[in-house]
Structures are given as structure tokens and as C-alpha cells.
């Protein structure tokens, strides 16, 4: 599905270790005067992509900066999707701080939500 790479803001990123695509419906529920439930669907098929990476410290910092941005463009399979990266977390891989040329290797997780 991904081919070889995905891109974020037109920059090729390392292959993710996890790429989980799901779709979500955004709806709100209200009560009518008669006491029945009224469901208002405001959006269907919003793409949500769970991403996990094993990255150098430099790449982990770059993804952290993208998570702080108002929006990014994620490209995969030739499709550009505008959205937000949220839910950033990073964890140092045990004993990787001795990896040459890095400040350790990091397990990075985040979620892309289509706008």
C-alpha cells in the first residue's frame, strides 16, 4: 500500500514500523423536544492514520516539530492529505544512546488526522 516511502510536507520520511489506516464518522447527538435522539452527522470517512517509527534523534525531533504545526501534508500512494499530526510520544530504545552519530534511537508514535 505504501510503496517504499511516505512523505510529510513533501519530505520523504523513513518507512514506518506501523501504518494503521482507519475511517471515522464525526457526529453529535441532541435531544428533541419530544425526547427522541437526534443524530447530526457532520463528517464521514475522516481518515485517521496511526504511525510508529524507529528513528534517529534528528528524525524524532523533526516529527515532533511537525506535531506542533497547525497542519501538514501527508503523501502516500500518490495521494496528498492535509491534516494534523497529534498524540506524539517518543521512547528511547534501550542502550541505543551509544549508536554512533545520534543521541540514541527512538521509538516514535503519533496519529495523523485528516482535516
Residue 35 domain-assigned (yes or no): yes
Which parts of the chain are beta strand (E)? 6-8, 11-13, 18-31, 37-56, 72-76, 79-92, 105-114
Residue 102 domain-assigned (yes or no): yes
| Non-local CB neighbours of 113 within 8 Å, separated by 6+ positions | 46, 47, 48, 83, 84, 86
Whole-number pLDDT of residue 4? 61
pTM of structure:
0.78
Residue 89 domain-assigned (yes or no): yes
β-sheet bridge partners, residue 35: none
Does residue 66 come out as left (phi exceeding 0), alpha (psi in the -120 to 50 range) or beta? alpha
The whole domain housing 19 covers 6-114
- Whether 113 contacts 46, CB under 8 Å: yes
Residue 106 domain-assigned (yes or no): yes
Number of structural domains found in the chain = 1
Q: What is the pLDDT of residues 89-110, one digit of tens each?
A: 999 888 777 777 777 789 999 9
Residue 52 domain-assigned (yes or no): yes
Reply yes or no on whether the pLDDT at 1 is more than 90: no
Residue 59 domain-assigned (yes or no): yes
Residue 100 domain-assigned (yes or no): yes
Q: What is the pLDDT of residues 2-47, one digit of tens each?
A: 546 789 999 999 999 999 999 998 888 888 888 888 888 878 889 9
Q: What is the pLDDT of residues 35-90, one digit of tens each?
A: 888 888 878 889 999 999 998 888 999 999 999 999 999 998 888 999 999 999 99
Q: What CATH code is carried by the domain that includes residue 70? A: 2.40.30
Residue 1 domain-assigned (yes or no): no
Amino acid at each position: 500500500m505504501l510503496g517504499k516511502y511516505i512523505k510529510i510536507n513533501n519530505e520523504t520520511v523513513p518507512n514506518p514500523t506501523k501504518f494503521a489506516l482507519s475511517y471515522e464518522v464525526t457526529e453529535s447527538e441532541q435531544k428533541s423536544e419530544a425526547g427522541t435522539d437526534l443524530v447530526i452527522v457532520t463528517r464521514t470517512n475522516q481518515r485517521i492514520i496511526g504511525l510508529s517509527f524507529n528513528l534517529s534523534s534528528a528524525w524524532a525531533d523533526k516529527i515532533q516539530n511537525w506535531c506542533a504545526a497547525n497542519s501538514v501534508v501527508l503523501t502516500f500512494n500518490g495521494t496528498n492529505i492535509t491534516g494534523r499530526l497529534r498524540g506524539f510520544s517518543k521512547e528511547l530504545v534501550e542502550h541505543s544512546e551509544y549508536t554512533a552519530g545520534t543521541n540514541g534511537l527512538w521509538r516514535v508514535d503519533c496519529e495523523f488526522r485528516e482535516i
